[in-house]
Structure 1
Amino acid sequence: MRTTGNTILITGGGSGIGRELALRFNALGNTVIVAGRRMAALEQVIAGREGMHAMTLDVEDPEKIATFAKQVISEHPQLNVLINNAGIMRHEDLARKRDLGDAEETIVTNLLGPIRLTNVLIDHLAVQPAAAIVNVSSGLAFTPLSATPTYSATKAAIHSYTVSLREQLRGKVELIELAPPAVQTELTPGQSTREGYLPLEQFIDEVMTLFQQQPTPKEILVERVGFLRWAEREGRFDQVVEMLSAR
């Protein structure tokens, strides 16, 4: 993936990993469009910075996604990189009957959102120079956290979907998967200060170093996430699942 001279769209760009990716890629000489639900947060990200733009996007609404795609292509015809980063994480108790609202919203946001947005942008991206799609999954795509079952399942699905996209778009669009470990963001309440989680700045430093490798790895894996990514291959899967559940 080219790391400068791109026009990059980042969903969930108002906070956390999306915000930091936006700032770092902009600093490398890219035009960056941050998208999310809250314009106030997005405007804080782009304030005082050249080559940054903010657009509201609700990834839960397919009609709004389609309208958004037309607008972003019209306003930024050189768009050549999509980073599907927006996501939510909810704890769920599966041991009793419950309202499925959290599970359904997680599936729509984390899985259908990226599928729908990629779908409405793919014809445009496929004819752009140095086109790339970066899908943000999770270390939990490979070793699930039982307390967040639907989140883990959607990230496993994003991993699988990315593999298929990579094959179908070979020679047209580069497909990269970014799989974070537990990072200090506000993905869940209090997580940004949670002890034992990887500091966001440290995570982004390592991620950007990996993005600048040539060729870019098809999976962006910081050192800490290897514990989850390779648990099954290394015969540790059951042990790690139990350890995560105990936490």
Structure 2
Amino acid sequence: MKTTGNTLFIPGATSGIGLGLALRFQALGNTVIIGGRRTELLERLVAEHPGLDAVEIDTSDAASIARAFDTVTSRHPDLNVLIAMAGIMQPEDLHDPGFLATAERTITTNLLGPLRLLAAFIPFLSRAKDPVVMTVSSGLAFVPLPSTPSYNATKAAIHSFTESLRVQLADTPIQVLELVPPAVRTDLMPGQAESPHAVPLEDFLDEVMSIIETQPDADEILVKAVGFLRFAEANGSYPQVLANLSGRAL
């Protein structure tokens, strides 16, 4: 992926990693469109960061995705990058059948949302110049955090789907990237922004942008802190890492 000369749409970019990436790419001279559900927040971010564009989108709603596609592509016919960032992470107690409501919300947002985005945007991007699709999985796709089972499962599904997507789109110009974050100091989970186990957001963004710049043909964007999860099964540390994750909360 090139770091300049892009027009990027990032649904889920009103805070955290998504907003951080949006601002990093904008600083490099790219055109950036952020997406989110809250109109007032989008308007505030556009006012605070001149040059950003914003489009209302709820990635859990198929009709909202369709409307956003029409708006983004009409305003920005040179769109060439989609980063499917939006996601939620919530704890679940599997002793209680009430976990199902959380699981359904998580699957709708974290799995169906990105798939619906891809279905809407891939035909358009296949005709773009230097097109890129970036999915966002997690280190927890490779070793689960037992307190968030549906989150882990959706991210494992995103990883697997991305592998297939890359193979199937090999006959198109679209580059398929997978961003695999570790725990990062954001508000994804309560207390995560202050967690000593999480990577400071700006440090994470520094490393991500460096990887994109120095490894433009990489399939996965892996910062150092996610390696213990990404390669746990391959290096034989999976049981120990799972035990560690079972004993602490982020």
TMscore range, shorter length: over 0.9
Rounded Cα–Cα distance in structure 2 between residues aligned with 1:35 and 1:96: 34
Matched-pair contact (CA < 8 Å) for 2:2–2:216: no
Aligned twin of 2:204: 203
Q: Which segments of 5 or more consecutive residues in structure 1 lack a partner in the other structure?
A: none
Rounded Cα–Cα distance in structure 2 between residues aligned with 1:221 and 1:104: 28
Rounded Cα–Cα distance in structure 1 between residues aligned with 2:216 and 2:82: 18
- Give the aligned CA root-mean-square deviation in angstroms: 1.2
CA shift, 1:196, in A, is: 2.4
Rounded Cα–Cα distance in structure 1 between residues aligned with 2:17 and 2:147: 22
Aligned twin of 1:17: 17
Rounded Cα–Cα distance in structure 1 between residues aligned with 2:59 and 2:157: 17
Equivalenced residue count is: 247
Aligned twin of 1:151: 151
Q: Give the residue type in structure 2 aligned to 1:18.
A: G
Aligned twin of 2:35: 35
For residues 108-135 of structure 1, give each alpha carbon's deviation from its aligned partner in whole angstroms, at most 9, with x where no partner exists: 0000000001101111000101000011
CA shift, 1:195, in A, is: 2.1
Q: Percent identity of the aligned residues?
A: 53
Structure 2 residue matching 1:127: 3-state secondary structure: coil
Structure 1 residue matching 2:234: 3-state secondary structure: coil
For residues 5-55 of structure 1, give each alpha carbon's deviation from its aligned partner in whole angstroms, at most 9, with x where no partner exists: 110000111000000000000011100000011123223333354431011
Give TM-score scaled by structure 1 length. 0.97
Matched-pair contact (CA < 8 Å) for 1:30–1:51: no
> Judging changes above 3 Å, is the alpha-carbon distance between structure 1 residues 157 and 55 closer, same or farther for their aligned structure 2 residues?
same
Structure 2 residue matching 1:5: 3-state secondary structure: coil
Aligned twin of 1:240: 241
Matched-pair contact (CA < 8 Å) for 1:19–1:45: no
Rounded Cα–Cα distance in structure 2 between residues aligned with 1:43 and 1:67: 18
Q: What stretches of structure 1 move > 2 A for 4+ residues in a row?
A: 39-51, 95-99
Q: Give the residue type in structure 2 aligned to 1:179.
A: V
For residues 139-171 of structure 1, give each alpha carbon's deviation from its aligned partner in whole angstroms, at most 9, with x where no partner exists: 001111110000000000000111111111114
Give TM-score scaled by structure 2 length. 0.95
Q: How does 1:156-171 map to 2 (within 5 A)?
A: 156-170=156-170, 171=172
Q: Confirm or deny that 1:229 pairs with 2:230.
A: yes
Structure 1 residue matching 2:134: 3-state secondary structure: strand
Q: How does 1:11-90 map to 2 (within 5 A)?
A: 11-90=11-90
Matched-pair contact (CA < 8 Å) for 2:185–2:198: yes
CA shift, 1:95, in A, is: 2.5
Rounded Cα–Cα distance in structure 2 between residues aligned with 1:233 and 1:25: 33
CA shift, 1:246, in A, is: 0.8
CA shift, 1:100, in A, is: 1.2
Rounded Cα–Cα distance in structure 2 between residues aligned with 1:45 and 1:23: 10
For residues 56-109 of structure 1, give each alpha carbon's deviation from its aligned partner in whole angstroms, at most 9, with x where no partner exists: 101111111112111111111111000000000010011233241110000000
Rounded Cα–Cα distance in structure 1 between residues aligned with 2:225 and 2:215: 21
Q: Confirm or deny that 1:182 pairs with 2:209.
A: no
